[in-house]
A and B are shown apart, each in its own frame.
Chain A
């Protein structure tokens, strides 16, 4: 029973393309997140949604646009991909109380 799932697991694409990553959680959580892990393993928050409402939007290029169709799903669309976008993107979810966050397996994005 996967708690937080992401698709695809690997994504290899050319510069300038547009791509999406999907995330789903079956934990009944009301808050979802996107984190980026760079090549040095550093993890940084990108976005957070609570009940489909955007609550955190870090300094991320406008080419990145999250969308939450419902509180179980949070997708990430990236326009005009650049070499520097290559990273592992993690989706996570939590309830408000305690804030224990459950992470998905990650999507490794490689931009050529």
Chain B
């Protein structure tokens, strides 16, 4: 069975500071990996995904994530936080074949201080 652990339910950074949101997964085979963002009272929007190929993936809004198989991690980063980045961020995994439902982490709320 797959599982996802997001370290830190709340992360607070200053505007312009580095954003680092941590995600580790557990899976018997390398899964597909995703980061989603949820703004208040809205649905989930895909930030980026890793399926195959280059392990550093770039997403929307200046975010990127690196797949590290040896560490079973997929941490999300952004060099410079903006006030508009304040939201809930979810890391998710899915199997590559068969059952394709997303297994989500518990989420990390990002606060950006002025």
Residues of B within 8 A of A90 (CB): 43-44
Residues of B within 8 A of A106 (CB): 42-43
Decide if B78 is an interface residue (CB 8 Å cutoff).
no
Interface size for B (C-beta < 8 A) is: 23
Q: Check if B46 sits within 8 Å of A100, measured CB to CB.
A: yes
Decide if A104 is an interface residue (CB 8 Å cutoff).
yes
Residues of B within 8 A of A4 (CB): 43
SS class, residues of chain B in contact with chain A: strand
Q: Check if A42 sits within 8 Å of B107, measured CB to CB.
A: yes
Partner of A33, one of B45, B101, B106: B101
Using CB atoms, name the residue of chain B closest to A94. B100
Interface size for A (C-beta < 8 A) is: 26
Rounded to whole Å, the gap between the CB of B4 and the closest CB of chain A is: 10
Q: Check if B102 sits within 8 Å of A45, measured CB to CB.
A: yes
Using CB atoms, name the residue of chain A closest to B98. A55
Residues of A within 8 A of B102 (CB): 33, 35, 43, 45, 92, 101
Candidate in B32, B34, B43 with the most chain A CB atoms within 10 angstroms: B43
Task: Rank and list the top 7 A-B pairs by shortest CB-CB distance, nearest first.
Answer: A45-B101, A103-B44, A103-B43, A43-B104, A105-B43, A41-B107, A99-B100
Residues of chain B at the chain A interface (Cβ within 8 Å): 32, 34, 36, 38, 42-46, 49, 51, 88, 90, 94, 96, 99-104, 106-107
The 18 listed contacts between A and B (C-beta, < 8 Å) are A31-B100, A35-B102, A41-B107, A42-B104, A43-B102, A56-B99, A56-B101, A92-B44, A96-B100, A98-B51, A99-B51, A99-B94, A99-B96, A100-B46, A100-B49, A103-B44, A105-B42, A106-B42
